Chain A
Amino acid sequence: AQSVTQLDSHVSVSEGTPVLLRCNYSSSYSPSLFWYVQHPNKGLQLLLKYTSAATLVKGINGFEAEFKKSETSFHLTKPSAHMSDAAEYFCVVPRGRNQFYFGTGTSLTVIP
């Protein structure tokens, strides 16, 4: 069965420093993978998605993620954090027709 594990429940970075949010997946084949962002009391917004076309995926707001099959990872990165990046981030994998498996989320704090 497909699943994801977000390795950090909370990450703190200083403004202007790199961001790394880690996600490992479990799947018997190369899955589709998504990263979503959620700001407080808001819905989830798609940051980027991997669908096997390219291993390095660029998303919105300067985020990108690299699919590494050998490591079963799909970590989210950004070169320079901005205050507006403070939010909850979810790694997601489809787990069947019309169903999704959500990681438990990583809360990102950006320190001025």
Chain B
Amino acid sequence: DGGITQSPKYLFRKEGQNVTLSCEQNLNHDAMYWYRQDPGQGLRLIYYSQIVNDFQKGDIAEGYSVSREKKESFPLTVTSAQKNPTAFYLCASSIDTLWNTEAFFGQGTRLTVV
């Protein structure tokens, strides 16, 4: 079945450590996204990528980094510079070029800083 796989589902990190969240899709989508979700705030865009080897900052990119070396993969690194990293992280993908195409989401990774 086609879809988006995020791993791990739960992740614990000590303060001062970097951590990488995995996102893989087999939908052959060009565009991929990372969102952060906090209670009562909806989804906020961290980074997005329209094509391999290209990515753009979203609304809250500070303290995060990404790479897009393969079409299928869009890992997100939460660095020690992110001041409040505890949150639910969602990866998504969509077909490029069309405004009426929806985003498909993974099941999320819940990151907790301990």
Chain A positions within 8 Å of B, measured between CB atoms, are 9, 31-32, 34, 36, 41-46, 49, 51-52, 90, 92, 94, 97-100, 102-105
Contact = CB atoms under 8 A, between A and B. Distances in A.
Interface of B: 4, 6, 31, 33, 35, 40-43, 45, 48, 50, 88, 90, 92, 94, 96-97, 99-100, 102-108, 110
A10 to B, nearest CB: 10
Contact of B102 (A49, A52, A103): A49
B88 to A, nearest CB: 8
Contacts of A98: 31, 33, 48, 50, 94, 96
A105 B103 contact: no
B99 A104 contact: no
B1 to A, nearest CB: 14
A104 B42 contact: yes
Contact of B42 (A31, A42, A99, A103): A103
Contact of A102 (B6, B31, B43, B102): B43
20 contacts: A32-B100, A34-B102, A41-B88, A42-B107, A42-B108, A43-B6, A43-B90, A44-B90, A46-B104, A90-B42, A90-B43, A92-B103, A98-B31, A100-B33, A102-B35, A102-B42, A102-B43, A104-B42, A105-B40, A105-B42
A32 to B, nearest CB: 4
A2 to B, nearest CB: 10
Contacts of A105: 40, 42
A51 B100 contact: yes
A105 B90 CA distance: 15
Given A34-B102, A98-B31, 10 more contacts: A31-B99, A32-B100, A41-B108, A42-B108, A45-B105, A90-B42, A98-B94, A99-B48, A104-B42, A105-B40
Nearest to B9: A41
A84 B77 CA distance: 35
